[in-house]
Structure 1
Amino acid sequence: MPATVSADVHRLSGRWGRLDIHALGATVTSWAPGGVEQLFTCEDAEPSPGRMWHGGVPICAPWFGSGMGLDWEVPFRHGLVSRVAWQVVHSTSGDDGATIVLRTDARSTCHLAGSDRFPADLGYELRVEADARELALSLTITSPTQPTRIEAMFHPYLATDVPSARLTGLGGISYRDYSDGTQGVEVSPLAIDGALDRVYDAAARVTIQDSSGSLDLAPEGAATAVVWNPGIVDGGFAPREWQRFLCVEFGNAAAGAVDLQAGGSHRLGIRLTRA
């Protein structure tokens, strides 16, 4: 079955379900296996060049957050590539699943503040595969001619009934919670009952269980995990929206930043599996 393509959104669908990818940031905005949406987007999301929005699976690169793993002060949060349109280089869709590959590079981000800190030929490729059970994303960052240090994270907004949710898999891993400044070692299972912004010193496979079922998340090539929910105090969401999603993020940030050699590349992956 061919993909439906508009100026901004690429939709691939079949009997297995639906996958939507917004050209801006190559952001997966919908994964609906069997017609059941697994991702969350806030009500006032307005995708536009040069900014991010709350929803889907944003890609944060070549830095994450405030760039804690870099040695300079970044001009804004979460990097460059989410703020520009990516180009589709391949897509297939059928009754059993769908695949799409998108690319961008430093030429597309050179107008943004902070881009001059990275090689002019830095390149990015995202491969997305989806079917009735799994959503897999694989991001490859390549630096053909110069060494550089990068951060990269997948930042999925997962449709979750937060009051009933329990997260397992991060037990025993040290963290710092930037919502209140506390540090500790995670105890599993983790319940979310307010603002949470925990950056973990390692990444591990996790499971989210809530009133609707369970979802497994498995990282590849990641050294950092983040669990985030704004809680009721955040003014960037509609009332009670915080109860409808949980961000469980995987990648390489802070102490897990990646040093790319000239001619080198780094591959980061995340796989979501419905139980």
Structure 2
Amino acid sequence: MHLDQLNQQYGLPELSFGDRQRGFPVIKIKNRFATAEISLYGGQVLSFQPSNTQADLLFLSDRSHYRPGKAIRGGIPICWPWFGADPDGLGRANHGFARDRLWTVRHTETLANGATRVILSLQDDEETHKIWDYAFELAIAVTVGETLDLELTSHNRDQRPMTITQALHTYFTIGDIQRVKVLGLAGLDYIDKADQEKLKQQIGEVTIQGEVDRIYQNTAPKLFIDDLSLERKIEVCNRNSTTTIVWNPGMEKTATMGDLSPDAYQRFLCVETANAAAETITLAPGERYTLGITYRLL
């Protein structure tokens, strides 16, 4: 559907469609609470900035690739139907295929409280069956208001049970990576993917020194990101998730990544809401499952 058609059918006074790059349509929202941008490619929120704030909640790399088949580096990528490496060892791409497919607009709405709600969906087709041979519908509902709320709903439309892992791989803007803490994970076990996947226990609050790639297990529904440099705290409320990933590539790995500037690692931190590692989700035919998050700037 062309931009003119999208604007005619789904546009709202506070919502319009445009191109971020040629062939990469985005939804632009500006309501009384915040501005936001959502990419139809990947069904990916790229920006959320509450009114009267100086910094976006989300980090988006200025070197992101906008090419078919490449994930956009930043915002909230959707890892689905698996998180991390191919679970079957078949050489398929890390983090599945949802983040590098074009999604369809299903609904836009101004809510009674003035917030803006958008629903996008992704369905199986000939190409997805070559990668993962299941019939499915995946929907992302994004609500832009005083908070940023996402609900990712997986629907098994196949005749067989299907097992997934998934994550909302959120990149948060950080003032200085050495002056940030993640609160609420102390005492929990985690898998250290930066150290041969050893099982470790978190001592004290999480701080970032060098490369960090951890899968925390049995996490609470509420976490906080305390950014001392930007003088703000972000509340992270998870629904239907007990797995949290904390990731920052550090200086050395960032230098090898073509879609990040060499110093970008200093300005973002990923705190991801997931069903991953031991927390797999198996859906019976016809069953649905919703993974949800709400972000609030305190």
Same fold (TM over 0.5): yes
Q: Answer yes or no: is the 8 Å Cα contact 1:84–1:109 preserved in 2.
A: no
What is the RMSD computed on CA atoms of the aligned residues? 1.8
Q: State which of 11, 18, 23 in structure 1 corresponds to 2:40.
A: 23
Q: C-alpha deviations, 1:166-187, integer Å up to 9, x for none?
A: 1111112111111122431112
The corresponding residue for 2:122 is 104
The corresponding residue for 1:5 is 17
Which residue type is aligned with residue 151 of structure 2? S
Q: Does 1:156 align with 2:156?
A: no
> Residues of 1 paired with 2:40 and 2:276: CA distance?
24
The corresponding residue for 1:115 is 132
- Give the unaligned 5+ runs of structure 2: 1-12, 20-24
Percent same amino acid among aligned pairs? 28
> Residues of 1 paired with 2:88 and 2:72: CA distance?
26
- TM-score (norm: length of structure 1): 0.92
Q: Answer yes or no: is the 8 Å Cα contact 1:172–1:187 preserved in 2.
A: yes
The corresponding residue for 2:150 is 137
Q: Answer yes or no: is the 8 Å Cα contact 1:202–1:224 preserved in 2.
A: yes
Which residue type is aligned with residue 192 of structure 1? I
Q: Does 1:48 align with 2:48?
A: no
Matched residue SS, 1:194 = coil
Q: Does 1:184 align with 2:200?
A: yes
> Residues of 1 paired with 2:127 and 2:241: CA distance?
24
- Give the unaligned 5+ runs of structure 1: none
> Residues of 2 paired with 1:17 and 1:224: CA distance?
28
Cα displacement (A) at 1:196: 0.2
Which residue type is aligned with residue 10 of structure 1? I
Q: State which of 146, 156, 162 in structure 1 corresponds to 2:160.
A: 146
> Residues of 1 paired with 2:57 and 2:15: CA distance?
20
Q: State which of 245, 268, 274 in structure 1 corresponds to 2:291.
A: 268
Which residue type is aligned with residue 100 of structure 1? V
Specify whether residues 108 and 206 from structure 1 end up closer, same or farther in structure 2 by C-alpha distance, changes over 3 A only.
farther
Which residue type is aligned with residue 146 of structure 1? R
Cα displacement (A) at 1:79: 0.6
Which fold has the larger relative contact order, with Cα–Cα distance below 8 Å and residues 6 or more apart in sequence? Answer: 1
**How many pairs were matched up?**
268
Q: State which of 168, 175, 179 in structure 1 corresponds to 2:183.
A: 168
> Residues of 2 paired with 1:267 and 1:148: CA distance?
15
Which residue type is aligned with residue 125 of structure 1? A
Q: Answer yes or no: is the 8 Å Cα contact 1:203–1:250 preserved in 2.
A: no
Q: Answer yes or no: is the 8 Å Cα contact 1:216–1:273 preserved in 2.
A: yes
Which residue type is aligned with residue 136 of structure 1? D
> Residues of 1 paired with 2:252 and 2:114: CA distance?
42
Q: C-alpha deviations, 1:187-234, integer Å up to 9, x for none?
A: 231111210000122232211111221001111111321000000011
Which residue type is aligned with residue 152 of structure 2? L
Q: Answer yes or no: is the 8 Å Cα contact 1:30–1:56 preserved in 2.
A: yes
- TM-score (norm: length of structure 2): 0.85
